[in-house]
Amino acid sequence: MRIAVVGSGYVGLVAGACFADLGHQVVVVDNDEAKLDALQNGQVPIHEQFLPELLARHRGSRLEFSGNLQEAVRASDVIFVTVGTPQTETGEADLSFVESVAREISGALGGYKVIVEKSTVPVYTSEWVRKVILRNGTDPACFDVASNPEFLREGTAVADFLFPDRIVIGCDNERSAEVLRQVYAPMTDGSYYQRANAIPQPDRTSVPPPLLVTSSKSAELIKHASNSFLAMKISFINAVASICESVGADVNQVCQGVGADSRIGRRFLNPGIGYGGSCFPKDVLAFRAVARECGYDFRLLDEVMHINEEQRTRFLRKVRSALWTLRGKNLGVLGLAFKGGTDDIRESPALFLVQALLQEGCKITAYDPAAMERTREVMNSTLKYANSAYEAARGADALLILTEWEEFANLDLSRLNQELKYPIVIDGRNLYDSEVMAAQGFTYYSVGRAACHPEGVPAALRNGVKKA
Ligand SMILES: NC(=O)c1ccc[n+]([C@@H]2O[C@H](COP(=O)([O-])OP(=O)(O)OC[C@H]3O[C@@H](n4cnc5c(N)ncnc54)[C@H](O)[C@@H]3O)[C@@H](O)[C@H]2O)c1
């Protein structure tokens, strides 16, 4: 099929590359000239596993980049809209980018086309997109509007796109549903997965994925409800972690026991410094606003957000209790991205904590495998950057782990101990076994577990033991 993808961000670029890999002819459109130049010149603007391979495979043949939306629409059967839907000051989703794309598309619809809302949008958006296109004089027989929410996670976006738990298509008639079935046919009929050069299948996924056909309103609600539920799962386990800290239980053991129940599941029961990123914070807030508008007071979501904010404050208190005063302290920080595997720093809890600690007068040297360039664009020069985790730790009063990158879970602990001025690690992601850390000579703080101290050190001297 001939597909236009409007927006070349995390979702649009990945969707475009994956549609091309499924065998479709794709043009990805953006109005950001710098981004377009980079894409047209062979650069890969975001950090995503398998994305460079797919772009190299299809660029210039099945995958093109363009700044001309109308031309791309005229040449396509299906138009996926993947522009941003940031939050407004009052918490609703800002749909002005979506509206402007709908307006621009109107003039270019010739034969029958399906306009697919892939951005995360509130219920009724498909109806509004349809109204805007009609208002601009388009024949109603020329188009349908459908909703196809995207569930990919940054860091594993390509694999998530091609091996999803489900594909949801919200279509209000059979004609548009059939077009979307064809788009995803290489996945739903399993033919994509037979190919020798298909992206490798991740563990825990099964193919072919099920395709759920719903109304457009249901599809819009599925996305908001899914993200809100996942955020709730994170806040729930963070609240449990706080209780574990008070009573001396181990939250990891609790997660294991709770998550073994197949009705609950182990995934997303990860205590830490709270959720962030470009999706959960804004989507929970937007769903809260949708509910309010519909006359339902969704207070559960207020609490989800409240626990999330509190989790950062609790972590700051932990740093303070480990180090006493903060002004002038040298801290090594591992992780700036909002989670491991991505360079995205939008709403990153790690960055929030770094900023708060800088304000307290700490001196910070940070390392992140992918997010330092983006951080440099938004942070003032008070933050120093290191080339490795060990360099970030060098001479520091303590090391903070703020993002769950795999490489941070596999550090050479004796080298780390040598690099630090004081062997204190404050781990906001629970990457290490407390006993192992104590045995390696660290004072180790984590989330939802008791602090551990170096073996053989008298209790009175345990915190901040100065090395010989
Ligand atoms: N990032 C994720 O992990 C993720 C996952 C699922 C869903 N979503 C949703 O998908 C949507 C896009 O998210 P993202 O992270 O890719 O956003 P993004 O900000 O990375 O990308 C949006 C792109 O749209 C472009 N754009 C804006 N207006 C345009 C216009 N009129 N014409 C052409 N291009 C235009 C921007 O220049 C930008 O490149 C959001 O609604 C988001 O909530 C995101």
Per-residue model confidence as pLDDT tens digits over 373-396: 999 999 877 899 999 999 999 999
What was the pLDDT predicted at 467?
45
Whether residue 316 has pLDDT greater than 50:
yes
Q: Which atom of ligand 1 is nearest to the CA of 157?
A: 3
Whether residue 456 has pLDDT greater than 70:
no
Q: Which atom of ligand 1 is nearest to the CA of 120?
A: 41
Task: Using a pLDDT cut of 90, give the percent of the chain over it.
Answer: 95
What was the pLDDT predicted at 381?
76
- CB-CB contact of 295 with 100 (8 Å): no
CA of 7 to the centre of ligand 1 (A): 6
Task: Using a pLDDT cut of 70, give the percent of the chain over it.
Answer: 97
Q: Which atom of ligand 1 is nearest to the CA of 121?
A: 41
Whether residue 464 has pLDDT greater than 90:
no
**Cα 126 from Cα 112, distance rounded (Å):** 17
What was the pLDDT predicted at 380?
72
Residue 394 structure tokens: 């060098």
Whether residue 43 has pLDDT greater than 70:
yes
Q: Which of 171, 244, 279, 362 is catalytic?
A: 279
CA of 134 to the centre of ligand 1 (A): 24
Determine whether 279 is an active site residue: yes
The residue nearest atom 27 of ligand 1, judged by CA position, is 83
The per-residue pLDDT for range 189-245, each reduced to its tens digit, is 999 999 999 999 999 999 999 999 999 999 999 999 999 999 999 999 999 999 999
Collapse the DSSP code of 81 into the 3-class scheme (helix H, G, I; strand E, B; otherwise coil) and give the result: strand
- CB-CB contact of 397 with 424 (8 Å): yes
How large is the average pLDDT for residues 311-335?
97
Q: What is the pTM of this model?
A: 0.94
**Cα 408 from Cα 410, distance rounded (Å):** 5
Whether residue 299 has pLDDT greater than 90:
yes
**Cα 330 from Cα 396, distance rounded (Å):** 5
Whether residue 468 has pLDDT greater than 50:
no
